[in-house]
Amino acid sequence: MTQDSSRSDRPRAVNGHAPDVFKREGQVPMREYPKNAPVDFVIVGAGCGGSVLAAKLAEAGMSVVLFDAGPFFQPKRDFASDEREQDKLYWLDPRISDGDDPIELGANNSGRAVGGSSVHFQMVSLRFRPEWFKSRSKLGYGRDWPVDWREMWRYYDEVEDALKISGPIRYPWGPDRGRYPYREHEVNEAGLVLARGAEALGVDWAPTPLCTVSAPRGKSPPCAYRGMCKIGCSVNAKQSMLITYVPRAIKAGAEVRDLAMVGRIETGPDGRASGVSYHRDGEWHFQKAANVVVAGYSIETPRLLLNSANAHHPQGLGNSNGMVGRNLMVHANDAVWGEFDEEIRWYKGPPSMTTCEHWNYADDDPSKDFDGGYSFMSQGPLPGDFAGTLVSSSGLFGDDLLSKMGRYNRMAGLKMVGESMPSPDNRVTLADETDALGLPRAKVTHSFCDNDKRLQEHARGFMSRMMRAAGGHNLFETQSTAHLMGGCPMGDDPETSVTNDMGRSWDVDNLWICDGSLMPTGGGVNPAMTILANAARIADRIIDARFH
């Protein structure tokens, strides 16, 4: 997609080579497939879902072309220690956001690069609570997943090992999960604020399991604690999809097409998917495929399915029941900030080095007046990001803003990841307005329900108590959202879900989905590891179905 000329570039994965992500310059060999012969799988989106699937299918011997609308970056050359320069990592093309509680999009909730949002995520690597996979049956709210937690647990093990997650020897919540592949990172001062407050209130805390290595791994050096994680890791300590599963996919024979915006999934006379139409290097092309997988995440996946409507599928592909785009979810991301007498220098190290999941497991606490749960983490926002938070949440400006930012090195914060309930009225549809390629823009409608608001109020109150217990003063709160989930939920019932348990469309048997849009519920933790584990599981199910 070339809407933003300041970020436009020519494709780099061309002529049988892809960028070498471990060097400033240089390339690695990459197989290329002809457009007019069907490949086994076209995968649209090279983020957490698509990259894992591409690697595992290619390693099983299948022909795979992996598309992404964003550039193929080389971190050592392309990633700067400059917040504004790194805006190039985000999906900034306009979308329409409405509802009672419109979702902030752009840099807040999506990525636009090979590797997807894993290139700029904060690396928090948590697992779902087991009961959340059957939250309707076991906890009385939300929707059940069509997957048993023990199966997911095995795939958490697989992806945590693949990414060498660095975490504590003992994690206080949930079933025993054994040792993380790499040792935990040393906690910074901002993390110790959470630890001090948790101990004062009598609840557990833990060093956050993180997707950045604490010791050398192959061509990745250990984390240097620069604190620039959220704008791309230029030292390659972060184990993003860009430097893990994407190279695996290429080595196994997959082709990556960067800066390639897929506009439609085409179907044949039988109504089955025949390939994709995509825009690259100034022209529209068509790639034949035996199977098409959509992995564009919770906005672009329903947008593509809806925009692929035709005579066979007048409501869009996979949408005969009208469920595509519905049950979109976000996490409440409210925060409490405060000042401390001592220097914190919270920007040093990964942004969220300690976590507390107490309220994901405290079902019987008498103060709990909501369904679902929330976790929260210590914070380390970069200066530009934090100044923006102050302006948008408090209206500070001029000398008042300068004065507040003068306390930057003595501040700390706690920020929640709060579950919200799936609702069919929270949805992605197509707007009348079109983008530079003539494709309808996504329209995102979102409102919080009363339960969501009670959960958020509870979290802000508890985090405030913890900040005071840790010695914080001059506290203030901000409200925001993070993470997108749902939009194309999987399930057991073709009337109320978009796919079955392996991401296969109920309507089109060679159309698949593999990303966070499949999630029927969002839980109270960051979704990256769940998306990765589910993608690894789906890959094995596809491989088993094909070869056995």
The pLDDT assigned to 4 comes to: 42
- For the stretch 164-178, pLDDT in tens is 999 999 999 999 888
Residue 355: its H or E element: strand 354-356
The pLDDT assigned to 547 comes to: 67
Q: Three-class SS of residue 207?
A: strand
Q: What is the mean pLDDT of residues 507-531?
A: 98
The pLDDT assigned to 83 comes to: 86
Average pLDDT, the chain: 95
Nearest to 328 by CA among 498, 481, 133, 522: 522
Residue with tokens 């001059």: 474
Predicted model pTM: 0.96
The pLDDT assigned to 108 comes to: 74
Distance of CA 213 to the CA centre of its chain: 19
More reliable by pLDDT, 44 or 84: 44
Other Cβ atoms less than 10 A from the Cβ of 194: the count is 29
The pLDDT assigned to 7 comes to: 44
Q: What is the mean pLDDT of residues 445-460?
A: 98
The pLDDT assigned to 6 comes to: 41
Burial readout 158-182 (b: 16 or more C-beta within 10 A, e: otherwise): bbbebbbbbbbeebebbeebeebbb
- Could you tell me which residues come within 8 angstroms of residue 28 by beta carbon, excluding any fewer than 6 positions away? 17, 18, 19, 20, 247, 250, 251
Q: What is the mean pLDDT of residues 86-90?
A: 90
- Alpha-carbon distance of 512 to 505, in angstroms, equals 6
- Alpha-carbon distance of 284 to 255, in angstroms, equals 18
Q: Are 302 and 517 in contact (CB under 8 A)?
A: yes
Asked whether the predicted pLDDT for residue 446 surpasses 80, the reply is: yes
